[in-house]
């Protein structure tokens, strides 16, 4: 069954005590929510403590990245097994900032998706075009290529654990949001790709989130579209009130 999801991507923000306070505040304020699954993805070093605070799993805990290796001599990397040992259930993979600043390719992201699913982590996989690609009318081709690359050799059983996030790069952190029509059009296109790669049922069940300057003032309109199942929220997820307000938009 398709779920409504609002996930917070904290990126590289907050120091440890501030982050823990924010987790507690979100947990407290989320009690009034219905009909939506909340996920928070703080930086790695917050996960262990956050996993204890969120141990009842009412709010899902996510990481922002993960290694493509199981274990061993990979200095500075964090493995899927390390994440699950802290109650982390989700992992954001292929965010445009990882693609742009750390040269992550669809091939690498595909490796990470496989190893994460093998280790019981649910990937939130990201796709999105840059402004020039949209202006050149290439956005559908770009998204199709990213989705095909990321889902290469992912089985029908494995896809059930995946959440897709459409994040037009030109809307991330810029204050520019895709219009409701642009979001719906692309989400429907993505659902069609999933239907062709797998089947109708899988496509109907997969949650597709919108990301890019989503905030309390525009979430309701974006989420009212039939193929928009929630949001991946950056800036606005750093304030408990805004994050909860967005989640109330369903
Ligand atoms: P933003 O970021 O909400 O700050 O635009 C979204 C994201 O990058 O996931």
Give per-residue pLDDT as tens, 192-209: 999 999 999 999 999 999
From the CA of 126, give the closest atom in ligand 1.
9
Q: What is the dihedral of CA 99, 180, 231, 10, to 10 degrees?
A: 60
Q: Note the pLDDT tens digit of each residue in 67-106.
A: 999 999 999 999 999 999 999 999 999 999 999 999 999 9
Give the residue, out of 43, 129, 131, 213, with the most ligand 1 atoms within 8 A of its beta carbon, to mutate for a pocket test. 213
pLDDT at residue 1, as a whole number: 81
Say how many Å lie between the CA of residue 55 and the centre of ligand 1.
Answer: 26
The Cα–Cα gap between 238 and 234 comes to: 7
Query: 103: buried, middle or exposed (CB in 10 Å: 19+, 13-18, 0-12)?
Result: exposed
What is the assigned CATH class of domain 5-247? alpha beta
- Cβ–Cβ under 8 Å, residues 54 and 89: no
Domain ranges for the chain, please list them.
Answer: 5-247
- Cβ–Cβ under 8 Å, residues 61 and 39: yes
> Which residues line the pocket of ligand 1, CB cutoff 6 A?
9, 167, 172-173, 211-214, 232-236
From the CA of 173, give the closest atom in ligand 1.
5
The Cα–Cα gap between 204 and 148 comes to: 18
Residue 225, both tokens: 């579209």
pLDDT at residue 163, as a whole number: 98
pLDDT at residue 248 tops 90: yes
From the CA of 213, give the closest atom in ligand 1.
5
Closest CA to 59 of 6, 3, 122, 1: 6
Residue 176 binned pLDDT confidence (cut-offs 50, 70, 90): confident
pLDDT at residue 10 tops 90: yes
Instruction: Identify which has the larger pLDDT, 77 or 32.
Output: 77
Residue 175 binned pLDDT confidence (cut-offs 50, 70, 90): confident
Say how many Å lie between the CA of residue 32 and the centre of ligand 1.
Answer: 24
**Mean pLDDT, rounded, for 45-67:** 98
**Mean pLDDT, rounded, for 4-8:** 98
Give the residue, out of 212, 237, 238, 242, with the most ligand 1 atoms within 8 A of its beta carbon, to mutate for a pocket test. 212
pLDDT at residue 122, as a whole number: 98
- The secondary element (H helix, E strand) that includes residue 183 is helix 180-197
Percent of residues, the chain, with pLDDT higher than 70: 100
> Atom 1 in ligand 1: which residue has the minimum CA distance?
234
Find the length of the chain: 250
- Cβ–Cβ under 8 Å, residues 142 and 129: yes
- Cβ–Cβ under 8 Å, residues 238 and 15: no
Provide the annotated active-site residues.
95, 167
Interacting residues of 150 by C-beta distance below 8 A, sequence separation 6+ = 93, 94, 106, 109, 110, 113, 125, 127
From the CA of 232, give the closest atom in ligand 1.
9
**Mean pLDDT, rounded, for 180-202:** 98
Say how many Å lie between the CA of residue 71 and the centre of ligand 1.
Answer: 30
pLDDT at residue 6, as a whole number: 98
């Amino acid at each position: 069954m398709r779920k409504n999801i609002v996930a917070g991507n904290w990126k590289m923000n907050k120091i440890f005590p501030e982050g823990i306070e924010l987790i507690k505040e979100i947990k407290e304020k989320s009690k009034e929510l219905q009909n939506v699954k909340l996920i928070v993805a703080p930086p790695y070093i917050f996960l262990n403590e956050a996993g204890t605070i969120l141990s009842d799993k009412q709010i899902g805990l996510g990481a922002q990245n993960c290694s493509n290796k199981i274990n061993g001599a990979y200095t500075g990397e964090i493995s899927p097994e390390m994440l699950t040992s802290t109650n982390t259930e989700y992992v954001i993979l292929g965010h445009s900032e990882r693609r742009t600043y750390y040269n992550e390719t669809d091939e690498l992201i595909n490796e990470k998706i496989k190893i994460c699913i093998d280790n019981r982590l649910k990937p939130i996989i990201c796709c999105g075009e840059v402004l020039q690609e949209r202006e050149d009318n290439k956005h559908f081709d770009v998204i199709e290529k990213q989705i095909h690359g990321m889902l290469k050799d992912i089985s029908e059983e494995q896809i059930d654990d995946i959440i897709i996030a459409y994040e037009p790069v030109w809307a991330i952190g810029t204050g520019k949001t895709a219009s409701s029509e642009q979001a719906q059009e692309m989400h429907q296109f993505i659902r069609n790709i999933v239907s062709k790669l797998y089947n109708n049922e899988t496509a109907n069940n997969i949650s597709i989130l919108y990301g890019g300057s989503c905030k309390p003032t525009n979430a309701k309109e974006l989420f009212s579209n039939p193929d928009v199942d929630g949001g991946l929220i950056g800036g606005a997820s750093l304030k408990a009130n805004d994050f909860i307000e967005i989640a109330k938009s369903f």
